[in-house]
Amino acid sequence: MRLRKKHFAIPEMRENPYVFFNGQENKGRWREIFGNDNPIYLEIGAGKGTFTIESAKRNKNINYIMVDIETNALIYATRKILEEELTNVRAMPINAENILDYFDKNELSRIYINFCNPWPKLKHKKRRLTFPRFLEKYKIILKPKSQIYFKTDDLELFEESLDYFTDCGFSTLVEEFDMKLEDYPENIVTEYERKFRKLNQKIKFGVFEYYRD
């Protein structure tokens, strides 16, 4: 569902020092931006930021970057950075298509993809954030032996994504077709996950690692 346009979103985010509209300038410089050598985790399609914000509160020794093309949602995420005084979070309103413009080789230690658009129509599947053309880009910006964490409620997307990851040379570390909360006490439940669980929809979860020398 598309959010109603928030005319205040972009002007407000431009005033936020933790939001970058010209993030290309930070490529290869993210450790300098954060001011430390802590691992950098990226969430693609962060929406309103529930996952990244809570993760950053729990893990002050990890740096987080959240990106989303939808500024009408991201505005709420960027507000939380200021409200929670989180110095280990940055945000960019960008299209994941251009992810290589914003991150250098080996710059990230982990990527999260939570409840992305499943794009069920055949002609649209190439837009999936787990489609091979995206995975090949992620392989460049991830450090060796880093992981991608992926959650979805969509069975077809999950099954086909398992093939995408395998075809692109990733090892499957975790494969859950019905993720039980009691098995993952550290799991952060986003608004989407909460909604799907209330509807008794099974949550699919996978962790994938790409190894290169």
Task: Summarize pLDDT for 30-63 with one digit per residue, the tens.
Answer: 999 999 999 999 999 999 999 999 999 999 999 9
Q: Is 175 one of the annotated binding-site residues?
A: no
> What's the rounded Cα separation, in Å, for the pair 142 and 99?
12
Handedness of CA 164, 179, 97, 172 (dihedral sign): negative
Q: Is 178 one of the annotated binding-site residues?
A: no
Provide the CATH number for the domain around residue 27. 3.40.50.150
Range 108-123 average pLDDT: 98
Q: Is 12 one of the annotated binding-site residues?
A: no
DSSP 8-state secondary structure symbol assigned to residue 106: T
114 in any annotated domain: yes
Q: Is 83 one of the annotated binding-site residues?
A: no
Range 86-95 average pLDDT: 98
2 in any annotated domain: no
Q: Is 182 one of the annotated binding-site residues?
A: no
4 in any annotated domain: no
Considering its fold, how many domains does the chain have in total? Answer: 1
29 in any annotated domain: yes
Q: Is 153 one of the annotated binding-site residues?
A: yes
Range of the domain at 121: 9-210
63 in any annotated domain: yes
Q: Is 117 one of the annotated binding-site residues?
A: yes
Q: Please write the tens of the pLDDT for every residue from 155-188.
A: 999 999 999 999 999 999 999 999 999 999 999 9
Q: What is the model's pTM?
A: 0.95
Q: Is 97 one of the annotated binding-site residues?
A: no
Helix spans in the chain (H)? 9-14, 30-34, 50-58, 71-83, 132-141, 155-167, 191-198
